[in-house]
Amino acid sequence: MDSLEYRMICKKGEGTFSEVLKAQCHKSNKYVAIKCMKNTFDSLEQVTNLREIQALQRLSPHTNVIKLLEVLYDQPTGRLALVFELMDMNIYELIRGRRTYVSEDRIKSYMFQLLKAMDHMHRNGIFHRDIKPENILIMEESLKLADLGSCRGVYSKQPYTEYISTRWYRAPECLLTDGYYNYKMDMWGVGCVFFEIISLFPLFPGTNELDQIQKIHKVMGTPPQQLLDKMRRY
């Protein structure tokens, strides 16, 4: 992996499968975000078949989806890094510990941009599956959806992975069925993010899956029997 092209500056964040570094490109002097994957890859074909890379290429360019600038793959070590445009922060960082509400105009603008990103993804046959404040990046007035590592094709075969998306933003059909959910789960996540950016606290902060369902029922009410029966069939 040719790290000589970039000067590493600091670590921006870390997840289960990757860590994100802030870096500067020596040629252009521009700052970028480099997502270093923790897994290793046996071949270039395995890299190009990654869902995240395929999805980003299919969705690009779009104003509200993060732009993949370069794929850095080092065959001898199997290491892979994805170079992205750098944003200032994510929505979680915007609202964490905040004492004053985000202005109504800014919330409207951010939510409109997030919905445009969702519309673009779904129209192109991809759903995200992990909509949460940490995966929504902002820079001043601009918002971009990021981290497509969990995405799936809208028309791919069910059942999907049961444990998907962060619990607080997980739709009821993800919690109550054995993987029978679809792209609509993204919109549930969008609704949870909308509430959180307005109120500055999460809507359904469940401590486990059962508590998550109970918190949803407290706010939304218990679903009608017909809907529960439908979920039980899956």
Residue with tokens 């499968």: 17
The four Cα atoms 112, 113, 114, 115 give a dihedral, to 10 degrees, of: 50
Which of 105, 130, 147, 186 is catalytic? The answer is 130
Residues 76, 32 share a domain: yes
From the list 145, 176, 143, 147, the residue with the least C-alpha distance to 162 is: 176
Last residue of a domain, one of 21, 50, 85: 85
User: Which pLDDT does position 224 carry in this prediction?
Assistant: 84
Residues 208, 121 share a domain: yes
Question: What pLDDT, in 10s, does the model give residues 1-34?
Answer: 455 789 999 999 888 889 999 999 999 999 999 9
User: Which pLDDT does position 234 carry in this prediction?
Assistant: 59
Is 166 contained in some domain?
Answer: yes
With cut-offs at 50, 70 and 90, classify the pLDDT of residue 154: confident
| Domain harbouring 138, CATH code | 1.10.510.10
pLDDT at 50 over 70: yes
Dihedral pair phi/psi, residue 29, rounded to 5°: 65, 5
User: Which pLDDT does position 95 carry in this prediction?
Assistant: 97
Whole-prediction pTM: 0.90
What is the SS3 assignment for 48? helix
User: Which pLDDT does position 160 carry in this prediction?
Assistant: 63
Residues 128, 68 share a domain: no
With cut-offs at 50, 70 and 90, classify the pLDDT of residue 230: confident
Is 120 contained in some domain?
Answer: yes
Last residue of a domain, one of 45, 69, 85: 85
User: Which pLDDT does position 33 carry in this prediction?
Assistant: 97
Catalytic site residue 178?
no
The four Cα atoms 61, 67, 69, 70 give a dihedral, to 10 degrees, of: -100
With cut-offs at 50, 70 and 90, classify the pLDDT of residue 178: confident
Do 1 and 79 form a contact (C-beta atoms < 8 A)?
yes
Question: What pLDDT, in 10s, does the model give residues 113-135?
Answer: 999 999 999 999 999 999 999 99
Residues 109, 62 share a domain: no
User: Which pLDDT does position 213 carry in this prediction?
Assistant: 93
Last residue of a domain, one of 63, 85, 107: 85
